[in-house]
Amino acid sequence: MGSENGKMDTLLSPITFAGTDFNLVENGNSSVHYIWLHGDEKTAKMALDHHISHFPGRAFFIQNDNREIPYLSTIIDPNRLFSRSGSYHSLKKFKPYWPPGTLKKALDDIERDRIEFLEIIMPKKDGILISVHNNFRGYNVKYELKFSRKTSIKKQQNPRDFILCTHEKDFEKLANGPYNVVLQDTVIKRDNGSLSWESLRRNVRYVNIETRLGYLTKQKKMLAFVSETLN
């Protein structure tokens, strides 16, 4: 599937969130947005690089080589900054002690950045935000079951390869395919600050495509399946 106008552009001005740049690659005109958030998940980046050259949409790539990004005098997980509570725990994880007033200022600064960043990456009404992730520490779909209202687990699929979505209609379509799928459409009281929960709060259609690190062909196929199924 090619782009609508056959043109792919890389915008020269990077987008910044919490002091870290994101590059935007745009292919045609589409309300589908993609994002790669963890710099150490290289398979996801390669899969998205390939995908955005064949499917229309806007893809945001973090410019960082590690899972955490540098911030002030510490490091933080960029996918734990989409709520104030998540930001708080991320800031305290690697730097438990903050001088009086400095933690609140950091939280306030991240919050201002977050508002601006979300305005850029969130798709227009009825669009979809698709994130790509890899796992290599044993994380798998079973960890998400307690947060999920509906599940479609395939015996022939590895539990570390799965799709998470936040809209029931998307789940029903994706569940008919060959991959593990979970639906998380109920906001929990205390979330971990990930982009999926913020998307749900905003009623944005969100899909996460999670595969094992190194399984490039699998992630390419899953990306194509999601794009073709939810077009």
Domain range for 175: 8-229
pLDDT confidence of residue 231: 81
CATH number of the domain where residue 47 is located:
3.40.630
pLDDT digits (tens, 9 = 90+) for 171-206: 999 999 999 999 999 998 889 999 999 999 999 999
- SS3 state at 119: helix
What mean pLDDT value characterizes the chain?
Answer: 94
On whether residue 108 sits in a domain, the answer given is yes
pLDDT of residue 13: 57
Predicted local confidence at residue 3, as pLDDT: 42
Burial status of residue 216 (CB atoms within 10 A of its CB: 0-12, 13-18, 19 or more): middle
Q: Are 33 and 128 in contact (CB under 8 A)?
A: yes
Residue 9 vs residue 150, higher pLDDT: 150
In tens, the pLDDT along 56-96 reads 999 999 999 999 999 999 999 999 999 999 999 999 999 99
Higher per-residue confidence, 204 vs 137? 204
Say if 100 falls within a structural domain.
yes
- Tell me the C-alpha distance between 100 and 106, whole Å: 11
Quick one: what percent of the chain has pLDDT higher than 90? Answer: 88
- Span 38-61, pLDDT tens digits: 999 999 999 999 999 999 999 999
Q: For position 137, what pLDDT does the model report? A: 81
1 within domain boundaries: no
pLDDT band at 2 (very low <50, low <70, confident <90, very high): very low
Please determine, for residue 9, whether its predicted confidence score (pLDDT) is greater than 60.
Answer: no
pTM of the model: 0.93
2: in domain? no
Length of the chain: 231
Burial class (CB in 10 A: 0-12, 13-18, 19+), 210: buried
Domain assignment present for 219: yes
> Phi/psi class of residue 99: alpha, beta or left (left: φ > 0; alpha: ψ in -120 to 50)?
beta
Locate 119 and state its tokens. Answer: 């305005």
| Number of domains comprising the chain | 1
pLDDT value at residue 189? 84
Residue 129, SS3 per DSSP: strand
CB 68 within 8 A of CB 91: no
β-strand partners of 211? 134
Residue 3 resides in a domain: no
Note whether 41 and 78 are within 8 A (CB): no
